[in-house]
Structure 1
Amino acid sequence: MIKGFKEFILRGNVIDLAVAVVIGAAFTAIVGALVEGFINPLIGVLFQLGDLSRWEVSVPTLSGFTSTFAIGAIVSSIVNFLAVAVIVYFLFVMPMNHWKARQAVKAEAESAGEEPPPTEQELLVQIRDLLERQTPAKP
């Protein structure tokens, strides 16, 4: 039983997931501070609220009291989520998808017995060599 648990924990997926959760929490704190310190006041200025957290709507209740809805907190949470989602997509997901696509092309080429496509550096060397051959030698 302990051996199975040890194999489970030492598998790469679990450790990668733990690292991702820790980094994600730290990253969310950074984006949250950016949203709270910059974006929310900017939205508050546009709607002449001053501070977005003060945006509240009070509604009278049936018992004669008032119930307050914190619209600013809701909008702040939505903006925070969207900021995190956009940043994570463009910094992590999109480059990883691009890398996976390139790896799939290389693997497909290798399985077909073909040579993998040349790297950017190899292409530049080939272009340089072709240009050298076309240019006549100066005496």
Structure 2
Amino acid sequence: MDLADRLALGELPARYGDLIDDRNWRDLDQIFLADATFEIPGQVLDGLAEIRAFMVQARHPRTHIMTNIYVDETPDGVILRFRLVGMRPDGRISSGRYRDVVVRRPDGWRVARRVFTATPYEESA
């Protein structure tokens, strides 16, 4: 993988965060393949149409900050990992991890499979 691919992959999480913050569900095809899957706790979304439908009705943080972005080339494909720090409408902070299987298409890198894991919070004593 060359440096241009790594740069493009590093931008993919940022573009996704901006699309969510802007509530721009139409342009999610710049992130996901038409047949992508997106696993969230307790649910698997199958295909871009289902991902869009979920996004429209879900409660999202108002601000997404994507960080700790890195790429691994594996025998099973290219894996993109990153973290989310989000500010909820009430001002509370949430966080989680993404693990994407990504593929290169003529129009750029796209997510074929995404798994989101929320960061568990423990009550302090």
Fold equivalence (TM over 0.5): no
Higher strand share: 2
TM-score (norm 1): 0.21
Larger relative contact order (CA 8 Å, sep ≥ 6): 2
TM-score (norm 2): 0.23
Higher helix share: 1
Which is higher, the Rg of structure 1 or of structure 2?
1
